[in-house]
Structure 1
């Protein structure tokens, strides 16, 4: 009797002690604890979350408001969010359905399907294929300028847009992942050609309707569905970005869904039904790796590992919205998060990282990461500056390279440090030839091919980085710009002071006076240009909105100034030669003027390498 009573007492105590832990393990406890606090800390108006397990929705809830003006609450059943690039997984699904039916082939040259335009044979014998489009390995450059449009803007057909806005092919297909919105738009057009339907009609009929996603659409213009308002925090208030839509629906432009509908989509990606098991395996499986030892790209998805679990994911953002879809196949679980703010600032991504870590801890707690076992050796050959290969190489938005570079430094035998790869400086230990691991277990890898060296990050299978020469590195360019700017600032200040002090005592010929005005005006234009860019870059979120929408008077005016610098610098260089030929001023003054002219040329040369000079790229 005592033994039974004691056992009952112990069980009662155990239940009391473990009740909080059990409660903390529920999805509600995880999201209710983190999201309200994090949304307030990061100035995000609203969010929604859906969790599915075993093909059923087990948790669905809205947080905050869908409209700051009306204070309408987020309702996961009724509030629509732009899902943006999460829509790429829908495009991949549509394409793979047609592959299953034999209407498309993964490895066929896309030109065999295209009718109104063709992809140039930039790399003979290396055609663009559907497989390369779906894994972001087709090799197109990345265009971001004016990629988003206002909701009311009239858009061309998908075929018209693809023909008129074709980006340059900069790498042979199948070599490295080079994220491409255009590539997915092209895959969506193949769906149109193979099915005989518009992309929106195909998705509605073959994906949304069979899944019961009645409040979802990829049509352009976007139907009048209840849509949350997207916001950007400007430091003091919520502002509505000018553009969140675009001409590439298969890449995610204008894709709208309620969180409840996305729960149905999650379930369909976990439990075969509308989508067959072979199709799901194609979408979620490893279809391309930048390095065999790093996480892979699927079709429309990518993979990563957290707490030892394999996650299959897709994220998406636009100026006012951020969303993320995560599948945990091993646990037959999925989660979808949507936000109507904090996108380009990184705030929504920070909230997502925090809440997903807590959610995955619920599924499988983290275990200590073993210290990497060093493979000793000289790793100095990997040192240098690396640029993200996801650039527009023919457009002024190439200037993104100045802020997106990675610096790699050898730090002893078998050890590297990086800056610009994630937050702060990170230390990496070589564990296999060309493979490095940090203290958290994250990995990077290098690929050497002749003179080319590429860097790949394990936490981002979509990206790659290419080592640049010393002269082509962003750090060198910034140094040249900085020194030139200091010299030009000196001329801007000194020349007016010198003229004031010597007024009435020094009479120069008209040519000399014109020379001074031309060089001083060029320096002033440089200062105004630099100030304009500094103002743009003072708020990275606002700068991203300006570039992707084109709706920025400051950007438009700033882009005009380099052309004035070009004309005035040309005049200054001619005048520098004439100054020596005709003996204008004293020798020190001529040397000063020549130095200023060289500084103007150096500044102009660097910004010209980023296509910031020339009329074709004005806003």
Structure 2
């Protein structure tokens, strides 16, 4: 008997020391990291960033419907040294909130109350959308795929006071963007589209969207430490546990952010814990029975997570609002950013794995994308033969997610995507100072080889080719379109702007000196000289107005349109005064005998004023 027990213990201990290789392979992350080594791996990875570039992070990993890792790093409150806790620390989820809109839409579709392919105008009040330029129907699927054709609009999105919050219906009317693409043609990530879908859900259910989510998602999943209702201060329990948000300062310092509020809250308004988000992820990762408390039918979650849009076969697209990710297995992901919080969630259904990362750091990418990439791995990089030369895709491209109407259209041209061939099969991408190398694996399909973490979400790019020309690039979150203005034009425009700004900021001082000299010589001041003064000062007013506009936007990009309206009115007024002054100066100098110096000065001021107004018109600085 003792001998049998000894043999059993020996075999048992041997099994602990030398685990079954097949079991180890199954009990790992999609990238192959053993689950029993996951904690050490994440600790080592996070150590490089926590306290340096990231104030705090809450990280949870799920495997086979079980939480296999849950840990907080850094601080939820740096000043008071309050540690981050995945179970209790409330953080802003940002655009991960959009997933709750799409799950809600699928719930209603399952019940037959919403048709994903029906024209959304049939669900909206008559005349609700006023800036549509195409008669083609817009469907809920278009909203899910961010290809309804709307331009980007950053105004009236975020506010710094809860008193500025308005109803979802009102903000959708106030901040309606223009439709610049035919539905289904171009993917351009859109907060407006998601919030519009939430409003349609309100119209169908007859209740505020946050109430619908509370009842049909939060309560169902016992997500008791999360809220979509704003302002968050109305919920004392949530407010008590909310971690502070931070920007990166100099020498590793963290600067606390002021709170911001969003009327278009279905696009990014959830405040909650990482543990609650893990419950949501678990509900979407089917168990063997396929049951989930989110849907009545087992097949609905399967449909939700199935591909609903792809730019090309075997190229990642979207699964009813979830973004597909080319990992070791097919991933479904969504990230989020608010003013001072960043987040990412990725589900890998085929491997029953999920990773959730929430941070209280603005624009964090190293943990969100770098760590996720390490855990879920990269897709197949097998290269086909006889691929087209990489030189065919060279060029500069602009994000389709941009403002097309108004002065903010200028911003996109400051940071285009540059693509340069390194050899016949590889290209180098440069965007805003970040660089990455991509390898061509299939005709016009390029996969990320190495580079900055900011490119990880777009680890596959598909170049749409037509007669030897690239007409579109499909990437995660937004397509890119060929640059529509030449380098010569852009540099000429920049040179003209610099000239006009310097001329009208310096010229008043020159005129003061000349006036002083004239006074000393007791020369009579001509009427044309007075009008030249008016012309110069109106140009100076334009320059100062634009400089102030730029400074205000750099200081706080998210503003209400009404805040900037005085600048646009000023541009109109000063431009009209300049135009009238140019005409009067030209009339007067033809009637007066003027010196060559005077004529040269007046001509230069008139030409500079006219060119300044032309520049303002080209770059839509009046709206």
TM-score normalised according to structure 2 size: 0.80
2:83 is paired with a residue of what secondary structure? coil
Deviations 1:90-119 (A, max 9, x none): 110010011011110011011222236533
Q: Distance in 1 between matches of 2:320 and 2:38?
A: 29
Name which of 43, 51, 54 aligns with 1:40: 51
- Name 2:280's counterpart in structure 1: 265
Rate the CA distance shift 1:290–1:265 in 2: closer, same or farther, 3 A: same
Matching residue of 2:6: none
Verify: 1:278 aligned to 2:299, yes or no. yes
Determine the C-alpha separation between the residues in 2 that align with 1:293 and 1:330.
Answer: 16
Equivalent of 1:607 in 594, 607, 616:
616
Corresponding residue of 1:456: 473
Contact 2:189 2:477 in 1 (8 A): no
Within 5 Å, give how 1:173-252 maps onto structure 2: 173-222=183-232, 223-224=235-236, 225=238, 226-235=241-250, 238-252=254-268
Quote how far apart the aligned CAs of 1:390 are.
1.6
> Which has the larger displacement, 141-150 or 63-72?
63-72
Report the equivalent of 2:4.
none
Q: Look up the SS of the partner of 2:162 in the other structure.
A: coil
Equivalent position SS for 1:136:
coil
Cα 1:408–1:367 shift into 2, 3 Å: closer
Query: Which residue of the other structure, out of 109, 130, 146, is the alignment partner of 2:119?
Result: 109
In structure 2, the CA distance between the partners of 1:604 and 1:110, relative to structure 1 (3 Å rule), is same
C-alpha distance in 1 between matches for 2:524 and 2:468: 54
Cα 1:533–1:59, aligned 2, differ >3 Å: closer, same or farther?
same
Does structure 1 conserve the Cα–Cα contact (< 8 Å) formed by 2:155 and 2:561?
no
C-alpha contact 1:389 1:466 (8 A) present in aligned 2: no
Kept in 2, the 8 Å contact 1:454–1:467? The answer is no
CA deviation digits over 1:364-384, x for unaligned, max 9?
A: 5x699567866456956x665
SS in 1 for 2:158: coil
Determine helix, strand or coil for the equivalent of 1:65. Answer: strand
State the Cα distance separating 1:532 from its structure 2 match. 3.9
Give, in angstroms, the shift of residue 430 of structure 1. Answer: 6.5
Deviation (angstroms), 1:274: 1.5
After superposition, the C-alpha distances for 1:4-47 in whole angstroms (9 at most, x for unaligned) are xxxx9xx99x98xx9xx9889633223322334413221x3322
Aligned equivalent of 1:349 = 365
- Aligned with residue 582 of structure 1, among 560, 576, 591: 591
Q: Which runs of 5+ in 1 are unaligned?
A: 1-7, 538-542
Instruction: State the SS of the aligned residue for 1:274.
Output: coil
**Quick one: distance in 2 between partners of 1:551 and 1:172?**
26
Task: State how 1:53-452 maps to structure 2 within 5 Å.
Answer: 53-115=63-125, 117-120=127-130, 122-123=132-133, 125-150=135-160, 152-153=162-163, 155-222=165-232, 223-224=235-236, 225=238, 226-235=241-250, 238-253=254-269, 255-271=270-286, 272=290, 273-275=292-294, 277-292=298-313, 294-306=315-327, 308-343=328-363, 348-360=364-376, 375-376=387-388, 385-408=396-419, 418-420=429-431, 423-424=434-435, 434-436=444-446, 439-440=449-450, 442-447=459-464
Could you give the per-residue CA deviations for residues 330-378 of structure 1, whole angstroms, max 9, x where no partner exists? 32111111111223xxxx1233233223333xxx5x6995678664569
Is residue 318–residue 324 contact of structure 2 (8 Å, CA) maintained in 1?
yes
**Counterpart of 2:472 in 1: which secondary structure?**
strand
Kindly indicate whether the alpha-carbon contact (under 8 Å) linking 1:284 and 1:299 is maintained by their aligned counterparts in 2.
yes
Match of 2:456 in 1: none
Q: Tell which deviates more after alignment, 384-393 or 50-59.
A: 384-393
- The root-mean-square deviation of aligned C-alpha atoms, in Å, is 4.1
- Determine which of 11, 15, 28 is the counterpart of 2:39: 28
Seen in structure 2, the aligned counterparts of structure 1 residues 118 and 570 have a Cα distance that, compared at 3 Å, is: same
**1:130-167 Cα deviation digits (max 9, x unpaired):** 11111111112221123112463263332333334322
Deviates further, 93-102 or 496-505? 496-505
CA contact (8 A) 2:337 2:362 kept: no
| CA distance in structure 2 between the partners assigned to 1:215 and 1:114 by the alignment | 33
Q: Distance in 1 between matches of 2:444 and 2:65?
A: 41
Match of 2:60, SS state, is strand
Contact 1:289 1:297 in 2 (8 A): yes
For the 8 Å contact 1:546–1:552, the answer to whether it is kept is no
Question: Aligned partners of 1:450 and 1:477: how far apart in 2?
Answer: 31
Q: Which deviates further from its counterpart, 474-483 or 440-449?
A: 440-449
Q: Could you say which residue in structure 1 is the equivalent of 2:600?
A: 591
CA contact (8 A) 1:471 1:477 kept: no
Q: Is the 8 A contact 1:45 1:340 kept in 2?
A: yes
Helix, strand or coil at the partner of 1:38: coil
- In 2, the alpha carbon distance for the partners of 1:312 and 1:468 equals 33
Q: Tell me which moved more, 368-377 or 147-156.
A: 368-377
| CA shift in 2, pair 1:152/1:530, >3 Å | closer
- Per-residue CA distance 1:535-565 (angstroms, 9 max, x = gap): 567xxxxx3x712145999x78876764564
2:249–2:255 CA contact under 8 A, matched in 1:
yes
Number of matched pairs = 583
Q: Deviations over 1:270-299 (max 9, x none)?
A: 124224553333332222234446320222
Distance 1:414 1:584 in 2: 69
The TM-score, its normalising length taken from structure 1, stands at 0.81
By how many angstroms is 1:260 displaced? 0.9
Residues 162 and 261 of structure 2 are in contact (CA less than 8 Å); yes or no, is this contact kept in structure 1?
no
